[in-house]
Amino acid sequence: MLSVKDLKVSYGAIEAVKGISFDIKDGEIVALIGANGAGKTTTLHAISRLLDIKSGTIMLDEKEISKMAPEKIVSVGLAQVPEGRRIFASQTVFENLKLGAYLRKDTVNIENDIKHCYELFPILEARKTQLAGTLSGGEQQMLAIARALMAKPKVLLLDEPSMGLSPLLVKEIFSIIKEINKSGTSILLVEQNAKMALSIADRAYVLETGKIVLSGTGEELINSDEIRKAYLGG
């Protein structure tokens, strides 16, 4: 579905991603885990074209997308939930969801899909006329995910959805991610929270200072000594 080959991305002279390759097959949840500063966000931004790549290829279903305009990426089936709960603070929950469908031509189905989002996240329905900036952290994260779903993506890119949330909320969000995946959306999950990410991932890659140092199925990695020592606290 989505495949990344020899991707290099740099900020000026500093190379943040140093030639990584990975892929996501149809219907998979793939996790990209790594410590702070490993290059996870940089990788996601390169895929969704918020950053220019230095070299490498990014293919979605046989289609090269690494030269596309950032606003076109959504229309080929990739939607990103950016790091840090970037919602449209001065607009209502409902309007945020509508903006998620900004590029969709099938306007008649949008109302229905908003209803579907409310089923997935009932709290958003209760808050639908509230300004998004007044939501709690967890609600904002849910809104950011729901908004991305409104684009009807084939692949959903999630950047640290657990960041700054209580363990209980993290559990809730991850079970919803799993549910989204079950209904047919492939997922690239970027996380520092390795334990949670590996628990739902089919496969995972470990990123360290811009390089992939380990990969395997979620189960393999959760049981590997290296991962235990480095990411799961022993």
Ligand X SMILES: Nc1ncnc2c1ncn2[C@@H]1O[C@H](COP(=O)(O)OP(=O)(O)O)[C@@H](O)[C@H]1O
List interacting residues with another protein (CB under 8 A): 48, 50, 69-75, 79-82, 86-92, 95, 98-100, 102-103, 129-131, 134, 144, 147-148, 150-151
Mask of contacts with ligand X, 15-54, x by CB under 6 A? -x-----------------x-xxxxxxx------------
C-alpha 101/C-alpha 214 separation (Å) is 36
**43 binds Mg ion per the rule CB under 5 A:** no
User: DSSP string of 41-105?
Assistant: HHHHHHHTTSS--SEEEEEETTEE-TTS-HHHHGGGTEEEE-TT----TTSBHHHHHHHHTTT-S
> Quick count: other Cβ atoms within 10 Å of Cβ 199?
15
**41 binds Mg ion per the rule CB under 5 A:** yes
At its nearest, how many Å lie between ligand X and the CB of residue 110? 32
Q: Residue 150: CB partners within 8 Å, gap ≥ 6?
A: 97, 98, 99, 100, 101, 104, 110, 113, 114, 117
Q: For residues 105 and 168, which CB has a smaller minimum distance to another protein in the complex? A: 105
Q: For residues 57 and 92, which CB has a smaller minimum distance to another protein in the complex? A: 92
**80 binds Mg ion per the rule CB under 5 A:** no
Pairing label, strands 186-191, 203-208: unpaired
How distant is the alpha carbon of residue 212 from its chain centre?
18
At its nearest, how many Å lie between Mg ion and the CB of residue 78? 18
Name which of residues 89 to 108 contact ligand X (CB under 6 A).
none
């709960």: which residue's tokens? 85
Q: For residues 30 and 150, which CB has a smaller minimum distance to Mg ion in the complex? A: 30
* Residues at the interface with ligand X (CB under 6 A): 11, 14, 16, 34, 36-42
Write out the residues near Mg ion by the rule CB under 5 A. Answer: 40-41, 83
